[in-house]
Amino acid sequence: DQQVKQNSPSLSVQEGRISILNCDYTNSMFDYFLWYKKYPAEGPTFLISISSIKDKNEDGRFTVFLNKSAKHLSLHIVPSQPGDSAVYFCAESLGTDKLIFGTGTRLQVFP
């Protein structure tokens, strides 16, 4: 049973500081992960991805780290901005065009 878990339903961070969102997975066969960001009343938008051939992928203020031995990935946002306040979903690609999504973490960045 493939599962993707985001154990923190919410996170509150001060503007300018680092936000760290975590995700754990159980399936090791297809190590390709994506992060999506979702604002209220909008669809999720793709943010960043990482495959098993890397342990880090960076795009501007966003960096995703993959720890395969721990089956854990994390998204770092530095520096955090109020516009980053949203729900963040991690997702695992099964290599079959389908994605398994986590339950999401609501990030609030306050001034």
10 Å Cβ neighbour count for 29? 8
Identify whether the C-beta of residue 82 lies closer than 8 Å to the C-beta of residue 110.
yes
Selection from 40, 42, 36 nearest residue 100 by Cα: 36
Q: Could you list the residues that contact another protein (CB under 8 A)? A: 6, 9, 30, 32, 34, 36, 41-46, 49, 51, 89, 93, 95-99, 101-104
Nearer to another protein, 56 or 98 (CB): 98
Closer residue to another protein (CB): 15 or 24: 24
CB nearer to another protein: pick between 16 and 95 = 95
